[in-house]
């Protein structure tokens, strides 16, 4: 089914949209004192208020109807059963197995993968504890003080986001840094002032062929070899990959190679050995608590009825905003400095997964798919782009997230953070009419003419949708649940849109062209049948490069 020929549920939602077009969140709240209670959901420590969305009971009933018409329950069961839901690559998507804390086996091709998962976790524990306690040492016998993860995309963003989010749990662990960009500035600046004798590199790459990661890994290898000699290299490297042959060729000892499997997608891999830098940063107990938090959310997603299922609700509201309210972008606004890399992480998760234009049958979809996701931590965003959120011509649905308790208790900082978070979603939802703005100005003593002149500028349309996540505190468990909720939201939307969220062919063309252009930038002649813009730019760059 594509939406070139929308099904009844989809058509019904289009019609419903027309019927409720004139409703304002102000009215929806005014006429229903129980709206918050009815439009919020809680699972474990994760609470979601979705009452400030432009939905009624009927909207939700229709959205659940759409989900059932698209086979949501069967799709969730199929995902957890290890079916080859990634049909273009003929693979299951079993990141949930990595955090499976139950005794349930998870079968791939008739084999239970859980013993191998537990084995890698045990090896990660031994290694992380040895590094953190100083038992594992560099070639000269010094403990590691700095760990540098080299990876990109899912082999960088997940561990980086979590290592930042859980900094309060670091204890006496090493300083863990991340290098991803092929721009050598990233590696050079990361290693500035760092002692090779106390540095451990973790080369993280599912394929162990990614150009950027391999270039950085080779330069890191040379940095160690130059400082400590070739023989020191094995003591200063570890690797995480599905490609054990390539890690061997690189010269990383087998006992420092941590495996994962092709049924783990790159952007879903932080729960695998790709999480090794997290374990090195905060300890294996906290890494396993992260897994436990995600597992609890998995169990909820797998078993809760659609109507009380947090990721399902989140996903369907996203579909409503995208396909029926026409919102092109979606903002993620963590009111938590520790979550400052969450928007970047979710960008890959969401946009690499649902940024698709053909359906599961290879036909162009007849409807919008994943929105552009972006964001920054509050309160910083308030002083930058919130102007557009409140008064611009685009409606941008937003996800706020905040913890009731912070990790530090400096003065009134946390109260200020909470107040600002709540104020923003309130302002977005309810706005301020021109009449109210004018009345306020008059009350403050402004001349009536001036008040009338300024009223249009000082009014807010409101009616702008948002979700608010509340956590008791940002901990490994609550973070695990939050991230898993977003992963499943992506899946829910992919089911509605009938697309495969687990492949990413869209990144391939650029890689191919970069390989073709590489020799043109030096050596071979610049002009070799490229388009005139590319040829011109190559020639310009060549003319400007030092000889
Ligand atoms: O180019 C996209 C991508 O394949 C991502 O999906 C992946 O997370 C990233 O590259 C890194 O890949 P690898 O872990 O194989 O180096």
Alpha carbon of 316 to ligand 1 centroid (Å): 28
pTM as predicted: 0.97
Is-cis flag, bond preceding 89, omega within 30?
A: no
Alpha carbon of 451 to ligand 1 centroid (Å): 56
Alpha carbon of 144 to ligand 1 centroid (Å): 27
> Whose CA is closest to atom 9 on ligand 1?
153
> Whose CA is closest to atom 16 on ligand 1?
205
For residue 525, the model assigns a pLDDT of: 65
Alpha carbon of 503 to ligand 1 centroid (Å): 11
For residue 522, the model assigns a pLDDT of: 80
Helix (H) or strand (E) holding 156: none
Taking phi over 0 as left and psi of -120 to 50 as alpha, with beta for the rest, 240 belongs to beta
Extract the tokens encoding 71: 């086979």
CATH of 107-288, one of 3.40.50.170, 3.40.50.10490, 3.40.50.150, 1.10.3720.10: 3.40.50.10490
Taking phi over 0 as left and psi of -120 to 50 as alpha, with beta for the rest, 227 belongs to alpha
The rounded distance, in Å, linking the Cα atoms of 310 and 301 is 7
Cα–Cα nearest to 55, from 400, 396, 324, 391: 324
* 212 Cα nearest atom in ligand 1: 16
Class of domain 8-69+304-430+464-503: alpha beta
Q: Which one from 245, 383, 408, 449 is the annotated catalytic residue? A: 383
Q: What angle do CA 303, 308, 312 make, to 5 degrees?
A: 80
The answer to whether residue 352 is catalytic is yes
* 210 Cα nearest atom in ligand 1: 16
The residue whose CB lies within 8 Å of the most ligand 1 atoms, and thus the one to mutate among 88, 151, 152, is 152
For residue 56, the model assigns a pLDDT of: 98
* 207 Cα nearest atom in ligand 1: 15
Cα–Cα nearest to 131, from 198, 220, 230: 198
The residue whose CB lies within 8 Å of the most ligand 1 atoms, and thus the one to mutate among 154, 157, 246, is 154
CA distances from 345 to 165, 446, 461 (A): 12, 47, 31
The rounded distance, in Å, linking the Cα atoms of 292 and 480 is 7
CA distances from 137 to 53, 129, 149, 237, 255 (A): 54, 12, 17, 11, 14
The residue whose CB lies within 8 Å of the most ligand 1 atoms, and thus the one to mutate among 86, 89, 155, is 155
Expressed in angstroms, the distance from the first to the final Cα of the chain is: 58
The answer to whether residue 259 is catalytic is no
For residue 1, the model assigns a pLDDT of: 43
Check: CB of residue 157 under 8 Å from CB of residue 348: yes
The answer to whether residue 511 is catalytic is yes
Helix (H) or strand (E) holding 293: helix 284-303
pLDDT means per 10 residues, the chain with 547 residues, are 70 97 97 98 98 98 98 98 97 98 96 98 98 97 98 98 98 96 98 98 97 98 98 97 94 96 97 98 98 98 98 98 98 98 98 98 97 97 98 98 97 98 98 98 98 98 98 98 98 98 97 93 73 93 90
Beta strand segments in 244-311, E: 257-259
For residue 294, the model assigns a pLDDT of: 98
Q: Ligand 1 pocket by C-beta < 6 Å: which residues? A: 152-155, 205-207, 210, 213, 266-267, 352, 504, 507
Helix (H) or strand (E) holding 146: strand 146-150
CA distances from 157 to 25, 161, 371 (A): 36, 6, 20
Q: Which one from 87, 413, 473, 511 is the annotated catalytic residue? A: 511
Extract the tokens encoding 36: 């918050």
């Amino acid at each position: 089914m594509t939406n070139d020929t929308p099904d009844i549920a989809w058509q019904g939602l289009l019609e419903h949209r027309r019927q409720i077009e004139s409703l304002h969140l102000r009215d929806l709240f005014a006429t229903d004192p129980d709206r918050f209670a009815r439009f919020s959901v809680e699972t474990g420590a994760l609470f979601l208020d979705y009452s400030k969305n432009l939905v009624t009971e009927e909207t939700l009933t229709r959205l659940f109807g759409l989900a059932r018409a698209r086979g949501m329950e069967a799709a969730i069961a199929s995902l957890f059963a290890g079916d080859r839901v990634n049909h273009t690559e003929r693979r299951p998507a079993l990141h949930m197995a990595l955090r499976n804390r139950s005794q349930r086996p998870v079968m791939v091709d008739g084999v239970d993968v859980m013993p191998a998962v537990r084995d890698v976790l045990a090896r990660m524990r031994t290694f992380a504890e040895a590094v953190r306690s100083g038992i594992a040492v560099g070639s000269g016998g010094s403990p590691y003080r700095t760990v540098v993860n080299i990876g990109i995309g899912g082999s960088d963003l997940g561990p980086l986001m979590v290592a930042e989010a859980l900094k309060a749990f670091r204890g006496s662990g090493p300083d863990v840094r991340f290098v991803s960009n092929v721009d050598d500035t990233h590696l050079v600046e990361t290693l500035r002032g760092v002692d090779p004798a106390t540095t451990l590199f973790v080369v993280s790459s599912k394929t162990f062929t990614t150009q950027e990661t391999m270039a950085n890994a080779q330069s890191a290898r040379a940095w160690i070899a130059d400082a400590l000699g070739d023989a020191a290299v094995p003591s200063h490297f570890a690797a995480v990959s599905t490609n054990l042959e390539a890690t061997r060729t690189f010269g990383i000892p087998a006992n420092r190679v941590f495996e994962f499997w092709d049924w783990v997608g790159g952007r879903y891999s932080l729960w695998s050995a790709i999480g090794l830098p997290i374990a090195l940063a905060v300890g294996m107990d906290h890494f396993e608590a992260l897994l436990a938090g995600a597992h609890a959310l998995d169990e909820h997603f797998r078993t809760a009825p659609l109507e009380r299922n947090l990721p399902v609700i989140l996903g369907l509201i996203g579909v409503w905003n995208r396909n029926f309210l026409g919102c092109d972008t979606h903002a993620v606004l963590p009111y938590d400095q520790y979550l400052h890399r969450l928007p970047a992480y979710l960008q890959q998760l969401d946009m690499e997964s649902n940024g698709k234009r053909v359906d599961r049958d290879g036909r162009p979809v007849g409807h919008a798919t994943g929105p552009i996701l972006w964001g920054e931590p509050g309160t910083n965003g308030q002083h930058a782009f919130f102007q557009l959120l409140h008064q611009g011509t685009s409606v941008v649905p937003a996800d706020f997230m905040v913890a009731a308790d912070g990790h530090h208790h400096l003065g009134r900082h946390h109260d200020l953070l909470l107040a600002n978070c709540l104020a923003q979603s309130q302002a977005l939802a309810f706005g301020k009419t021109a009449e109210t703005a004018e009345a306020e100005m008059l009350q403050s003593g402004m001349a009536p003419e001036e008040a009338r002149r300024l009223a249009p500028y000082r009014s807010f349309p409101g009616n702008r949708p948002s979700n608010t996540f509340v956590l008791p505190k940002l901990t490994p468990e609550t973070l695990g649940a939050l991230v898993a909720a977003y992963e499943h939201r992506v899946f829910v939307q992919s089911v509605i849109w009938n697309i495969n969220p687990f492949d990413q062919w869209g990144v391939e063309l650029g890689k191919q062209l970069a390989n073709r252009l590489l020799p043109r930038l030096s050596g071979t002649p610049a002009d070799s049948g490229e388009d005139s813009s590319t040829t011109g730019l190559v020639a310009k760059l060549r003319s400007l490069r030092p000889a």
